[in-house]
Amino acid sequence: MKWSSFKYLTKQGLHSMVQNRLMTVASVGVLTACLIITGIAALLSVNVNSFVDYLSDQNEFEVYLNDGADQTVVDAFVQSVSGLGNVAEVEYVSKAQAVEEMRSWMGEDGDLLESYAGEGNASNPLPASVRVRVDDLELLAETVESVKGLGADLIYDVQSPTELSSVLVGMKRAVTYAGWGLVAVLGVVSIVVISNTIRLTVFARRKEINIMKFVGATNAFIRLPFFVEGMAVGAIAGVLSTAVVGGGYYALLRALENPNAAWLGEFTRCMWPFKDVIWIMLGGFVLFGVFIGGVGCATSIRKHLKV
């Protein structure tokens, strides 16, 4: 196809959008509505996921050591734990550090523990410990077992939130599957709805297509203006839905800037920043819209080209 023909057909496609403005408005409206619903589902999914990720990042377990353990054995134990898979960070907390941490946690009442403070204080009842932070929460229970295996004689007790971790893992999985499942279902619904709307547009212009065939137009020549029209409808719907969903998200972030409840504050901190979301959303919506519009047009017209 010559460049001049391509230019002419592209112009025809855009011109036809204006001429058939009622159908254009209907197609843009339907696609925008579908994209808004899909966008809300996607935003909800990524933000809940991010919150669950944040919660799981807080996860660590503590290994309490027997009093009187040889420091070289303890150092070797810490070294071995660091070398385990799924271990992100290991921190040794001596008996004296444990007292200091507790004093700081107790604030003004921390003075009550003054008599236990100091390195080598024999009256200090708190045990030394090793804090282990894990990479993958799903493997927490296995990591705890591995650590126990490394120093069975050395370990007095292990405190790990394995139950909480399994709840968080389950929650994350549920949010991921449900969220993206919802996005996929809405995406399919969007494709069906928009291709039906486009089919109506094409059906209304079937005579035009028929005439084109009889004057010797090739299928590509007939298809291109419809394709351009579909893609333009998709792009407009993409921009409109970004404006609506992005605007709503911005307003929500502003409203949650100073939350009353502490947990809400935590959640707000985990939400995706507006400037990160908006460009991904714009790109995603426009590409999805253009794809649906273009493919919808190309497939809807096929039936009418068989003349």
The CA-based angle 179-183-184, given to 5 degrees, is 115
Q: Tell the smallest beta-carbon distance from residue 3 to other proteins (Å).
A: 10
Contact with other proteins (CB under 8 A): which of 1, 14, 174, 264? Answer: 1
User: To the nearest whole angstrom, how small is the minimum distance from the Cβ of residue 249 to other proteins?
Assistant: 40
> Per rule CB under 8 A, is residue 38 in the interface with other proteins?
no
Per-residue binding string, other proteins, 2-21, x by CB under 8 A, is x-xx--x-------x--x--
Count Cβ atoms within 10 A of the Cβ of residue 180 and give its class: 0-12 exposed, 13-18 middle, 19 or more buried.
middle
Between 158 and 217, CB nearer to other proteins: 217
Q: Which residue in 122, 215, 261, 262 binds other proteins (CB under 8 A)?
A: 215
Taking the CA of residue 156 as centre, how many other CA atoms within 13 Å lie in the half-sphere pointing to its CB?
13
Min dist. Cβ of residue 172 to other proteins (A): 53
3-state SS, residue 132? strand
Does position 214 interact with other proteins (CB under 8 A)? The reply is: yes
Query: Under the criterion CB under 8 A, does residue 221 sit at the interface with other proteins?
Result: yes
In which region does residue 118 sit, left (phi positive, over 0), alpha (psi from -120 to 50) or beta (all else)? Answer: left
Cβ 40 vs Cβ 245: under 8 Å? yes
Give the per-residue contact string, 57-86, with other proteins (x = CB under 8 A; - = no).
------------------------------
Q: How far is the CB of 215 from other proteins (least distance, A)?
A: 5
Q: Report the nearest approach of other proteins to the CB of residue 279 (Å).
A: 38
Shorter beta-carbon distance to other proteins: residue 221 or 291: 221
Closer of 184 and 307 to other proteins (Cβ): 307
Q: Which is nearer to other proteins, 275 or 306 (CB)?
A: 306
How long a stretch of residues is the chain?
A: 307
Among positions 183-212, residues that touch other proteins (CB under 8 A) are 207-208, 210-212
Instruction: Name the segment binding other proteins (CB under 8 A); options: 123-131, 142-150, 188-196, 215-223.
Output: 215-223
d(CA 301, CA 278): 34
Measure the CA–CA gap between 296 and 28, rounded to whole angstroms: 13
19, 20, 24, 26: CA torsion to nearest 10: 140
Which residue, 199 or 213, has its beta carbon nearer to other proteins? Answer: 213
> SS3 of 131, please?
strand
The full DSSP string for 73-113 is HHHHHHHHHHTSTTEEEEEEE-HHHHHHHHHHHHGGGGGGG
Within 133-161, residue ranges assigned H as helices are 140-150
Would you tell me which residues interact with other proteins (CB under 8 A)? 1-2, 4-5, 8, 16, 19, 207-208, 210-219, 221, 307
